[in-house]
Structure 1
Amino acid sequence: MTTPPGNPPPYGQPPSPYGEQPPYGGQPSNPYPAAPYPPPPPPPGAYPPPPPSGYPPPPPQPYSQQPPGFPPAPKSNNKKIIFIVVGVIAALIIGIIGVVVLYLAFGQGTVTATDVKMGDCLSEIPSDTKVLTVKTIDCAKPHAGEVFAVLQMPGGDFPGQSTIDTYADKCSPALASYSPSSMTDDSVQLYVLYPTAETWDQGDRAVTCIATLDPPRSGSLKG
């Protein structure tokens, strides 16, 4: 049934003001403040909201800090490399010193007596009865001897001293051919190196003719 306007509601029911009570059995509309909804989760990369206690969150770690769990950077091998280089340099220095010592011990131009050849000059004349080495020098410098002939004997058994002496006698005419002026120079004498029975067995076949110079002189006798 429709209630005419201006007439009170039927059955003496008082009019409901604004904020009227809900119907029977209903709960009042939010009589107490309701708990707020939880905030939405932060987007990726955003800092989390402060905890309920109100304390601010810990400061974020700087970007340059490495995450935990990575191994430390390997140690440099520079010291090891330096030690190796120093060791190599020390070995080279020791080797050079050894060469210098050998050079000073044996002297300049020390060669085996059987290895000299015509035109070689000697810094000194050997004084030993058995000569194994001689000292050669540039003929432009003062020298005490000059090789002017090397006579090769034939192979076979040791021929004996008389045969060797026969070969040694060939040195004088060889000097006359090498340096004619030396034949009348009293400062020039003959010195002969020849094989012994021992060196013969080792392959020595050379009779070496040497002109000695007293006093020593510079320049070759040849001519």
Structure 2
Amino acid sequence: MVTSLGARRLARAAGILLSAALLGGLVTGASRPEAVVKDDTFLDAETPGVLNIEAGECFDDPEYDVAFDGVIVLYRPCVEGAQNQSYGFIRAPDGDWDEPSLRAYAWDGCRRAQARRWPAGDPGVALYPVLPTRETWADGDRTVMCVRYRPTGRLSPEDTR
């Protein structure tokens, strides 16, 4: 009888451990970041807080801020590991609003700026431009912000040097 009770306890303990291991695997699998692709529509010149970011500064993706009572981009020191880093600004040529041409100009300009700053490339780090909107363009805004990010997680402090 002791052997039967001991065997049941052992089987139950093994079942609990197996369940915990499987659940742990599910949690770990679920917590792995999926690759995030950010493009020229992710942020724009009208996204609150984005105009406060200077070249070389880091920031996190927009999120709700209680004090602001809305979604806003907030600065984060690069040494803390951020989701994005502004690495420069380019000025689009004057002219009429032409969104397809602006997009092409911004992508090309940001790629060239990235190649100048990191000539050897930077594996695992991607970029996207932050564009003026039709409304900010009408007000004279021609500035494109070039931003780097890591699609699978946060930029490390080493990434942002």
Asked whether 1:175 is paired with 2:114, we answer yes
What pairs with 1:1-20 in structure 2 (closer than 5 Å)? none
What pairs with 1:59-208 in structure 2 (closer than 5 Å)? 112-124=49-61, 133-181=72-120, 183-186=121-124, 188-208=125-145
The offset of 1:180, in angstroms, is: 3.3
The offset of 1:125, in angstroms, is: 6.2
Higher RCO (C-alpha under 8 Å, 6+ residues apart): 2
The offset of 1:134, in angstroms, is: 2.2
The offset of 1:195, in angstroms, is: 1.3
Contiguous gaps of at least 5 residues in structure 2? 1-46, 64-70
The residue number in structure 1 matching 2:154 is 216
The offset of 1:124, in angstroms, is: 2.5
Which stretches of structure 1, 4 residues or more, deviate above 4 A after TM superposition?
Answer: none
CA–CA separation in structure 2 for the residues paired with 1:197 and 1:112: 18
The offset of 1:111, in angstroms, is: 6.0
The offset of 1:153, in angstroms, is: 2.1
Q: Which of these two proteins has the greater Rg computed from alpha carbons?
A: 1
Contact 1:113–1:134 (CA under 8 A) maintained in structure 2: yes
Contact 2:86–2:147 (CA under 8 A) maintained in structure 1: yes
Q: How many residues align?
A: 107
Contact 1:121–1:146 (CA under 8 A) maintained in structure 2: yes
The offset of 1:216, in angstroms, is: 0.8
From the two aligned structures, give the one with the greater helix fraction: 2
TM-score, normalized by length of structure 1?
0.41
What percent of counterpart residues are identical?
A: 26
CA–CA separation in structure 2 for the residues paired with 1:125 and 1:211: 15
Q: Name the CA shift for 1:222/1:208 in 2 (closer, same or farther; >3 Å).
A: same
Deviations 1:54-113 (A, max 9, x none): xxxxxxxxxxxxxxxxxxxxxxxxxxxxxxxxxxxxxxxxxxxxxxxxxxxxxxxx9632
